Each structure stands twice: as structure tokens, then as C-alpha cells.
Structure 1
Amino acid sequence: MTVALHDLLPVGLRRSWAVDGTCPDLDLYSLFRARQISDLHRTAVVDAKGTLCYTALDRKVRCLATGLAELGVRPGDVVGVQLPNGRNAVIADLALAALGAVALPFPVGRGGQEARGLLRRAEAVAVIAAVEHRGHRHAADLRDLAPELPALRHVIAAGGAAGTEPEGTIRLAALLRSDPAAFVPARPDPDRAARILVSSGSEAEPKMIAYSHNALAGGRGNFLASLMPDGTPPRCLFLVPLASAFGSSGTAVTLARHGGTLIVLDHFTPEAALAAVREHRPTHVLGVPTMIRMMLDRLEAEASAGDSPPLPAPTALILGGAPLDETTAESASRAFGCPVVNLYGSADGVNCHTGLGATAPESEGTGIAAGRPDPRVAEIRITDTETHERLPDGAIGEIIACGPMTPMCYVASPDLDALYRTPEGWVRTGDLGFIDEDGILHVVGRLKDIVIRGGANISPAEVERELSSHPLVRDVVCVGVPDEVMGERLAACVVPRGAQPPTLDSLAGHLELRGLDRRKHPERLLLLTELPLTPAGKPDRAALRARLANGAPGPEATPARPEPVGAAPAGVGA
């Protein structure tokens, strides 16, 4: 049985975007095929194995589609994909689109139990997984879980030498040798599901969100088009996993919609990322702020050692997945010689960005400027968090969105559809923000991330933004820690810049100079060498909260001095 994927937007509204040309109204493989025919030998993918042109990629896509069809994969079937960044992930994306099947990519590094939940709820009939990647043996793990997944018929093992695939799996390499001569693409309805995006997993169970061909190539494609000033096919370096929501703009947008070149690393390191910028000269670099801060540190180390080859200037750095502070944006703009685009978006269906005109996100007063909403991507409104009625400009409320990129529905989760979609189909983001008199969206924080200390609300995003400008702070995430007296207290998890770490005293002094109320000052300090990241590349707030709740040992955790109920935080360590 194929999982039911229904569209929560009115049919007429969805069709209107195809009629007026906002969406291309073609399935992803047809779009890719048109790009391939128009420029047979343009480079499509650059990965650890080298380069692959559009024609060679298309042949591999047809081979895999033939092999999957012979295994019984049919239009509408869901197929999981757990592969590192590289050509195999791209081939799988396009082959499934050509079959009219639905791709369910999720990043390598996610555990078997989480994978089981995703595949079970999506009723996946097959899964393509790496034999081995950085110590993980996903194909074997998923093979072992197969008896618990009644819909799963095949585990396809990618990578590794012949004979190393787990018993009971099918080698991807064998499917790629299928004869594609008789293959005929399915040509699915562009408004039908093409891909299921998986949330970053910060909640108990990751959400799965179904997107159509038009929502990906149209809505998300229009987002990238707005950052292509001359329309030249882009060369996009993806530092994030292609299997993440952010990475969904890889195959569907960079290749199928815009006919560009996709540059990927199978594992992010700042050294590899900088080498890719220098060698492959991308026009657009897509990553999260933490990655860019690591690259900036590496550039500083190169400069100190007198070995700093020049960086070719991209068209833009596109940073999303976590709040972007002014210090990082300004430093990155200087180092890379290009605009830094602050991208506000999520797998649930919202997108807004600051564009090519700004070098840093403005953060005067409350919130961070996220740019002017683009109705060709997603219209944005602000609503009351209790009544859900639309609020006037300047009022803070919940951000909701609707537009060509709006997804169809949550997968097998009617409770999430009821919670996060309005009766008209708009996406409720759970984010707080406001739209100013110039039409600029400002993001204040997350409704659920608010730390409530003694009845007072504290936005971690606001504190992070101010701490990021501290000279001894390279990276920072603030989280709430349970407390018997105050309910919660705020903890700052800091990666120091240089050998001298900051103290709670110095952080408090800095925040006081920045004008932040004392009640918002962190009361615990956790010093780290690096922030833990989720498989999607975002800061792992859940891991940090767990570490603090369990009492991190030694000098890394510095508790604040106990205070009576109702007092302002002291902001100093014991």
C-alpha cells in the first residue's frame, strides 16, 4: 500500500501558479532532460570522484530507473535514500523522479531507529543506503530492520568493493549496469509528490513533509533565481547534506530548474570547503553559519602561517539553518568578497532572505531582518498566537506562509496537518516575528524555544545575537536548563575564539554594554571545542540541553550563583 499524500492547498490556487508561469509545470526529470539536451557536455556534478557531465549523468539516471523498475518500484512508491553527498545521491534523486516515485532522502549519520520510523511511516518499498560512511554501516543496519518494516521489499547497498555489500542487499552498482534502451519516463503530474523533506530532528520524532515537483522546481527554484543576477547557470557548492531540507535545492533546483553545476563534499571540513572554493570557483556557497565560522577560523590560521592562497569571490554566500549574526556576516563578506545572504527557511514551507544588496542582517531592536517576502516563493503574514487572526505591521506574532513552495502535507501525520496548517492551507511556522513599515520581515525567535525563567520570557536567539559580537566568542548557542527554583535558567554554550576563554563575568559585562536586560543574561556557561551538529548540519540543541541537564564535568560547565525567586540574574560564575 502506498502512503496517501494529499494537497492541503486549494487546487485552483496551486494551478494558478502554473498558469501564470510562476512554476514551470513540468516534472523534475523532464526539466533535467531539457537542460541536458540544451547543453550535452556541461558539467553537472563535481564530487570526490571527479566530474560528471549532464549526458553521462542522464545515462546513469536511466540505468538506475530501469533497474528500480525491474525491482517493482512504481509511480507513487516511496523510496528512502541515505547516502552521503555525491553523484549517487543525485542519480537516485533523478531516477526516482523519472519513475514518478517519491524520494525520501535523510542524512547519513541518522541512527537505525530513527530511519526505521521514517521508512515505516512513509511505507517505503525500498531504501538505498551506504555500505559504509565514516564508521556508519547504514545498509547493514537497515537490512537488519527490514523484518520490522512490512512495506520494505529491497535494501540497495551503495559503495564499497564488490562482495562487501551485506548479505540480503542488492548492489547499487549492479542496478547502474541495467540496459536503459527501453526505458520510458513516467512524466508524473507536476503537482504530485516528488520528494519528502525530513525536519532536522530537533523534536522527539522528525517531521516528514511532502513536496510536489512544482513546489521544488518552481517555488524553491524561484528563490535561487532571485540570487542569480545575470541568469547564468549557477555553480553551487553545497556544504550541507543534499538529503537535508536545505539541500533539497541541489538536484531539483541547481540542476533541473537552472541547468547549473552541483559541487559537493561527502563530508564537511573547513579545509575541504576552502579547497573546493579555490579549485571549483562556485558562484553560490550554501551552508550554515557555524560552517562559515569554522572556515573563517581556518583562513585566519592560514594568514598567520603566511600560507593563504587567494579566494575567488562567489556571487553570494547563502547561510541558513540557524540565526546569522552581524559579526559573522560582516567577517564572511570581507573574507569572501561577496554579499552574505541571510536565509530564513524551514522544511515546513517558509522562505525569506535578505538578497544580494545586504552584507549583514540588520538587527536593530527586536529580531533579525530576514528580508522582504517574495510571493513567487512564499507570501508571509503575521498572526496572533492565540486567536490566529492577522496582525498589523509592526506587531509581533506567529509567522505563517503560503506560496508556490508550500508543501502538500505532513506524511502520515494528520495531527501535524491540524496543528501546523491553517484551514486555508497556510503553514504555521511556530516562529515569532513582525513585518515593519517597509515590508521587511524580522524574525524574533521560536515559540517553543522561549526560555521561561521565573515567569519571564527569554529569547535565546536574541542573546545569541548579542554574544556573537564578543571578541572571545567564535560560536554560541543558548539553551534553557531545567531549574527547581526558577523553572528554567539560560545557559550559553560557547566555542571560544583563541586560547583565552570567556567567563560568565565577561559575557555579562558585554551584554550590559550591548543594552541587554540583566534578566536575559546567561546563568551557566558551557565551554566547547566545537558545537555538536545534527546530521543535517545544524547546531544540536537537544544534545547541548542533555549535556547540561546531566551536569557536564570539569571546567566546561560553570553554574551561576544561586539566586532568590524574582531576582535578576547575577551573570557571574561561581
Structure 2
Amino acid sequence: MSGTDWTPWPEEFAERYRKEGLWAGRPFGESLTHWAEERGARTAVVAPDHRWSYADLDRRADRLAAGLHRAGIRAGDHVVVQLPNLAEFVALLFALFRLGALPVIALPAHRRSEIRYFCEFTEAVALFVPDVHQGFDHRELAAEMLAGVPSMRHVFVAGDPGSFTALADVDADPVPLPARDPGEPALLLLSGGTTGVPKLVPRTHDDWYYSGRAVAEACDYDSSTVHLVTLPIAHNWTLTHGLMATFHAGGTLVLAPSADPDVAFPIIAGERVTDTGMVPGVALLWIEATEWTDDDLSSLRQVTIGGTKLNPELAKRVEPALGCRLQQAFGMAEGLCGFHRGTDPQDIRLLSQGLPVSPLDELRVVDSADRDVPPGEAGELLARGPYTIRGYYRAPDHNARAFSSDGFYRTGDVVRLLPTGHVVFEGRVKDQINRGGDKIAAEELENHLLAHPQVRDVAVVGLPDEVLGERICACVIPKGDQPALDDLVDFLVERGVAPYKLPDRLELMESFPLTGLGKVSKKDLVARLS
């Protein structure tokens, strides 16, 4: 990749990370070979149609890399990978690492607008898709890309290929391939922004490898770990917390097509799953499902909840319902991530979202003028460290705004730090409601309302108002009898909520619009209600 396409770490930082042993200097292709030599027949990947050992995965990655090379894909080529939770995704990822082609990891939910942008912006030569996923025929979309994107030459399909090439048929005897530079980007992830087309995040072999190792250590993974992925594997969270951390520890990665309890619970029972990750909405589903399921969930040791802040009222219900330890987490494709540790007391696990995984993570909490706020006060989180990028791919103008002059990434999250170093998320810089000059943090109201006996889930948004600027709207999924606005206002008053924070409007809903990761899309809520 051209040096103008991405921003490497300054040499003094890179040298320190290497000296401290954080950057191993080993590309991923070699890592898988090393793991296969160590573990051989130990199960690496379980999916609906596959059960591969580490040796099996290593062989498949080798043959797939050779098959792609024979098809004309070379080191330095960009390819877009849009696959759901399949074993083929894992083999393809390592095959591309060995080949030196740079995967752009797209979400299965993306459609024409996003996929065309990724293909054109990166000048991708190939697109990898499923045949039909959740009722959508990805081959039709692939045909449009092949016809409309000048750089596109190949389409590979997991499943029935139609007029394209079946991924299962991409197979050849291994061939010598160029050595990879571990300091160069290994893949392009998508930023977690909910507005506009996602920015592309270049992650190097060195930094991404280390983040997986650090997560495995923070989560106490070992060779007995059986990690279930129910969210899309294409997210950095599932890739790092699931795939990379599990492989570092020598455990088993189990891929499920859905987080629905009817799907996930039998897999937990059958595979004796020990760990999994989910967003709060899924946690709520699982908690409710435990009241009727007959599936044996006793193998679970730890459930990690992240993606968006877990309300304390819901957090208190996790351990009694699921019978395992609750771990909160935070993270972003740009790098920085944090998890609770096994020694953290319950109050810390309920209140905070975790502790950064690396001792060399540097955090600042600043006000709107970039001044550090007093300890314990809320401000925007800035981060710098051995696995947090220094710039987006081909985005110099945006980088000037998104990164400080000394290399800190401006996360856009409003947080406060506990004396222990644990991070408490208070919202987003722009996730505030400005009602007549009064600033209301939506998450504060959401946490109060979630304690109401007739509220199953809630999202608070600001709706445009000609007089006040914004009015407060509580969007509620009811539990049992539907609440009225007066009921909620009285409840909040009883809890001591200031009058200016009380909702002006109530909208009852059956479900919320979601982003690809399962977060509530407040942008879509506002558009729907305005």
C-alpha cells in the first residue's frame, strides 16, 4: 500500500512497541502456521457445515491462497469481502493475509450504495459474497459491481455461484508467496460511525495481532475457551474478541447464523460454549428466553456485553438469569478497546464499561477546547497506543479533524474515568439534546426509564422544535400494559429527575431501527418521527 494511503506510527513509538514485546513482527500467515504446528488436531472453527482443526484451517488457507493466486489476484490488490458467519470467511481471511491482498471487510447488511463505494474507492479487483443471505440475493448485487466498477474482475460466491465462481472450487496446490511486512496494513475495517459512508480503518499485522493477544489476556482465555460469535463476524469486536483472541489462546471459535435464542441456545448446549459477546438488546432477549428454555447453558463462564452502553438496571439481571459472569466491554475499529478483569468487583462491573487492554494505552479526557478535564469529570475521550490507528485510509482532510496534532484519536465518546482507570461512557459528543439551552444526556434518561416496570427498552432522542431547538422524545418498547407519557413523567419525578429533563413526547414502538452492529439508530428514529 502506498505510504500516502495510510498513516504509520512515528518511528519512536513503533520502536517502543517492538522493544516492549507488543509488536511481534510476525504476519498473520505465519501466525496460523505456527498455531497449526502447535495444536494440530485441536478444533479451531465450528460452523453449521464445517468443523475444522487448526491443521485443517491452515491447509485450507494455503490452498485457497494458491487458488486465488492462480485466478490472478496478487499482493497489493484490494478485495471486498462481504460474507456472513461462515467457516469460509475465516479461511479466506488467512488466505488473503498470506497472499498479501488487502481485504475490505464489509457487512452482510450493506447494499449497493456502500458496496459500490468500497469497490470504487479502493479500486477492488474482486468481491466475495454469499449466494442468498436473509432473503437477499448477493449475486445480483455482485453482477452490478462487475458491470459498473472498472477495476472489478472477479466475483466469488460462498454457496451456489450462479454464473460466478464458487468459493469452494478455488483450490490449488500451495505455491511460494512473497513474505509479508508485519508493519504494513493487513486489512481495512469499517469505522463505527452511524452517519454517511463508513471510513476505512487500516490495521497492520503488528497492531491487530497485538490487540487480539491483549484481549485474550484481559478475558482470561485459554485452550479450554469455546467462544460463540452470534453478531456479524465482520465487525472488529467479533474479529478481535472472538476470532483473534480465541486463536491466540488455542481455543475454539464457534460461528452461529443468528443471536436468536432458538438458534444460539442449542449451540451453547451442544458445543459447551464458555464465552460469547452481545449487544444490550440481545442480552435482554436472552434474559427473557431463559424463563422458558430447556437448553443447558451451564457451560457459560462469561458473557461480554458492549457495542453500546449497558444500562445498570439491565446489567443487574444478567448474572442471575444466565448463570455466568457479566463482563462489560468497549471498543472501536480504530483500535482502543477495554474489558473488565476477573478481579473487578461487582460495583465496577455494573457501573463501568471496562479497563483498556494495554498498559501502553494512553487516554485523555478533554473539554471542547482540548483541555484535560479534572479527574472524574466527563469529557471527550482521546486515545493513542500500540493498536489505535494514526489515520484513516485515504482521508487526509478528515484525519486533520479526527486526530490531534500529537496523534491522539478523537473518539467522539463522552466518558469519565474512575480512580481505578475504568471507563464510564456517558454518551456521544453529539448525542445530547439541547432543549432551550439546557443540555440533556439521552443515556441518563434511558437508564431511569428502563427501571419502569412497563418499559422493556427505550431510546431517547431530540426532535426539532422551532421554539426550543429540540424537544425530548422517549421511544419505548412496552412491557405488558402500555405506559402513558404522564406515567413516565411521574416516575421520573419520583426518581428525582430535574424538570427540564422530562420527556415532552412518548412514542410506543414494537422495535427500534438498528445499525449493522445492532445498535439503536437514533438518526433513523429522528428521521421517522420528525
Say whether the fold is shared (TM-score over 0.5): yes
Q: CA RMSD, aligned part only?
A: 2.3
Residue in structure 2 matched with residue 546 of structure 1 by the alignment: 527
Note if 1:348 corresponds to 2:334: yes
Residue in structure 2 matched with residue 534 of structure 1 by the alignment: 515
Deviations 1:338-361 (A, max 9, x none): 221111212233212333345766
CA contact (8 A) 1:99 1:186 kept: yes
CA contact (8 A) 1:3 1:412 kept: no
Task: Choose from 260, 264, 279 the match for 2:270.
Answer: 279
Deviations 1:134-163 (A, max 9, x none): 111223212213343222221212212xxx
Q: CA deviation at 1:4?
A: 4.8
Q: CA deviation at 1:2?
A: 6.8
Task: Choose from 359, 381, 387 the match for 2:364.
Answer: 381
* SS of equivalent to 1:268: coil
Rounded to whole Å, the distance in 2 between the matches of 1:443 and 1:363 is 13
Q: CA deviation at 1:323?
A: 0.9
> Which deviates more, 395-404 or 255-264?
255-264
Rounded to whole Å, the distance in 1 between the matches of 2:345 and 2:122 is 41
Task: Choose from 416, 422, 440 the match for 1:458.
Answer: 440
Residue in structure 2 matched with residue 413 of structure 1 by the alignment: 395
Note if 1:242 corresponds to 2:233: yes
Change (3 A) 1:375 1:436: same
Rounded to whole Å, the distance in 2 between the matches of 1:276 and 1:532 is 27
Residue in structure 2 matched with residue 171 of structure 1 by the alignment: 166
CA contact (8 A) 1:326 1:362 kept: no
Change (3 A) 1:540 1:495: same
1:58-69 equivalences under 5 Å are 58-69=58-69
Note if 1:199 corresponds to 2:207: no
Change (3 A) 1:252 1:266: closer
Residue in structure 1 matched with residue 130 of structure 2 by the alignment: 130
Deviations 1:88-118 (A, max 9, x none): 1111111111112222111112111111112
CA contact (8 A) 1:372 1:441 kept: yes
Q: Output the amino acid matched with 2:432.
A: I
Deviations 1:5-61 (A, max 9, x none): 323421221232222212332112211211111111111111111422112222221
* SS of equivalent to 2:290: helix
Rounded to whole Å, the distance in 1 between the matches of 2:173 and 2:335 is 36
Change (3 A) 1:449 1:363: farther
Rounded to whole Å, the distance in 2 between the matches of 1:67 and 1:148 is 25
Change (3 A) 1:337 1:137: same
* SS of equivalent to 2:315: helix
1:256-267 equivalences under 5 Å are 256-267=247-258
* SS of equivalent to 2:476: strand
Q: Output the amino acid matched with 1:344.
A: F
Change (3 A) 1:82 1:507: same
* SS of equivalent to 2:273: coil
Residue in structure 2 matched with residue 468 of structure 1 by the alignment: 450
1:29-428 equivalences under 5 Å are 29-160=29-160, 165-167=161-163, 169-175=164-170, 178-181=171-174, 183-228=175-220, 231-232=222-223, 234-249=225-240, 253-300=244-291, 302=292, 308-358=294-344, 369-376=352-359, 378-386=361-369, 388-428=370-410
* SS of equivalent to 2:115: helix
Residue in structure 2 matched with residue 500 of structure 1 by the alignment: 481
Q: Output the amino acid matched with 2:258.
A: H
Q: Output the amino acid matched with 2:310.
A: L
* SS of equivalent to 1:257: helix
Note if 1:480 corresponds to 2:462: yes
CA contact (8 A) 2:309 2:353 kept: no
Q: Output the amino acid matched with 1:91.
A: A
> Which deviates more, 421-430 or 265-274?
265-274
Rounded to whole Å, the distance in 1 between the matches of 2:35 and 2:379 is 42
Q: Output the amino acid matched with 1:111.
A: R
CA contact (8 A) 2:266 2:295 kept: no
Rounded to whole Å, the distance in 2 between the matches of 1:506 and 1:357 is 41
Q: Output the amino acid matched with 1:369.
A: S
Rounded to whole Å, the distance in 2 between the matches of 1:45 and 1:363 is 30
Rounded to whole Å, the distance in 2 between the matches of 1:439 and 1:255 is 26
Rounded to whole Å, the distance in 2 between the matches of 1:278 and 1:523 is 46
Rounded to whole Å, the distance in 2 between the matches of 1:234 and 1:322 is 25
* SS of equivalent to 1:262: strand
> Which deviates more, 2-11 or 481-490?
2-11
Q: CA deviation at 1:166?
A: 4.1
CA contact (8 A) 1:140 1:166 kept: no
Rounded to whole Å, the distance in 1 between the matches of 2:83 and 2:31 is 23
Q: Output the amino acid matched with 1:519.
A: Y
Unaligned runs of 5+ in 2: none
> Which deviates more, 78-87 or 531-540?
531-540
Rounded to whole Å, the distance in 1 between the matches of 2:363 and 2:133 is 40
Residue in structure 2 matched with residue 23 of structure 1 by the alignment: 23
CA contact (8 A) 1:199 1:245 kept: no
Q: CA deviation at 1:529?
A: 2.4
Q: Output the amino acid matched with 1:32.
A: L
> Which deviates more, 314-323 or 268-277?
268-277
Rounded to whole Å, the distance in 2 between the matches of 1:46 and 1:135 is 24
Unaligned runs of 5+ in 1: 550-574
Rounded to whole Å, the distance in 1 between the matches of 2:92 and 2:506 is 44
CA contact (8 A) 2:216 2:241 kept: no
Deviations 1:306-354 (A, max 9, x none): x534421423111111110122222111122222111121223321233
Q: Output the amino acid matched with 2:470.
A: E
* SS of equivalent to 2:472: strand
Rounded to whole Å, the distance in 1 between the matches of 2:346 and 2:139 is 43
Residue in structure 2 matched with residue 552 of structure 1 by the alignment: none
CA contact (8 A) 1:239 1:264 kept: yes
CA contact (8 A) 2:232 2:517 kept: yes
Q: Output the amino acid matched with 1:69.
A: H
Rounded to whole Å, the distance in 1 between the matches of 2:103 and 2:391 is 15
CA contact (8 A) 2:216 2:246 kept: no
CA contact (8 A) 1:396 1:433 kept: yes
Rounded to whole Å, the distance in 2 between the matches of 1:199 and 1:490 is 28
